Amino acid sequence: MSKMKVAIIGSGNIGTDLMIKVIRHSKNLEMCAMVGIDPDSDGLARANRMGYITTHKGIDGLVDLPEWKDIKIIFDATSAKAHHYNWSVVEQYPDKRIIDLTPAAIGPFLVPPVNFDASHNVKNVNMVTCGGQATIPMVAAVNRVAKVHYGEIVASIASKSAGPGTRANIDEFTETTAHAIEQVGGAEKGKAIIILNPAEPPVIMRDTVFTLSEQGDKAAIVDSIHKMVAEVQKYVPGYTLHHNIQFDDISEDKPVFIEGLGNRYGLKTTILLQVEGAGHYLPAYAGNLDIMTSAAIATADQFAQESLATN
């Protein structure tokens, strides 16, 4: 069976984990090139040892390779700032797609179990953030039963799993995730908070999701949430609920004030998640990075499957 050739821009932890996932687990993708800007990076060294093409000259170095013509999907695991330049190059080639793992959000947001079907003809898709990939499915699960007025997420990750790229993009993380809670999750208003936990030993990623929605059937909401968890587990087995779903009724005579929405009442739902990484390249506690790379691979695999089926 033929596979679609891919390149990875960014030879840090995320890019290297993407490479391992493509090589070991992808059904439809073939690793072709690893791209970085640091010739001494571990990611480039690993790719070299495994026999793959590498360049430390960034996207321009990739375009200069003879293999460029055969590469159809590019993963961008750099930074929000770098992605703007990378996309300005890739968009000139109509036969190529880019999957953006930075918070640049040039292309539309994509969370695989929620809105993959809207991305078929899109050349640049944005994987939101680690917090977004973990929590937006839960907001969407509530929203398909009862309209969500407000969605707030708190992502707590091990400080050791937050590299320089993550730290440099904290502002973009909160803004991008909040927008995606609205645009993909379906909330009228979204808010995102990230916590870098310095505990030793490092803690597994934990996420808390709060929604305030119209009143709805609580059993139906629980069922919707469990079905969505099962969808995410298809590509992130370590994605689990670590506590029972909690409900609070907010009465009309005691509403809560939400900035930008005013006073609102209805049903408050609290969802507590845990994301344990698969340990392919990154440690198991780095579920925040694993869910991003896993979602990106799941997206690229589906893109490739659809393209290969029509050719």
- The residues annotated with a catalytic role in the active site are 130
Distance CA 148, CA 141 (A): 10
Amino acid type, 115: N
- Whether omega before 164 lies within 30 degrees of 0, making that bond cis, reads no
Read off the tokens for 190: 């979204």
Helix (H, G, I), strand (E, B) or coil at 157: strand
Helix (H, G, I), strand (E, B) or coil at 235: coil
* Residue 54, Cβ density class (10 Å: 0-12 exposed, 13-18 middle, ≥19 buried): buried
Mark out the alpha helices in the chain (DSSP H runs): 13-25, 42-49, 58-63, 80-90, 112-115, 130-143, 164-168, 170-183, 218-233, 287-310
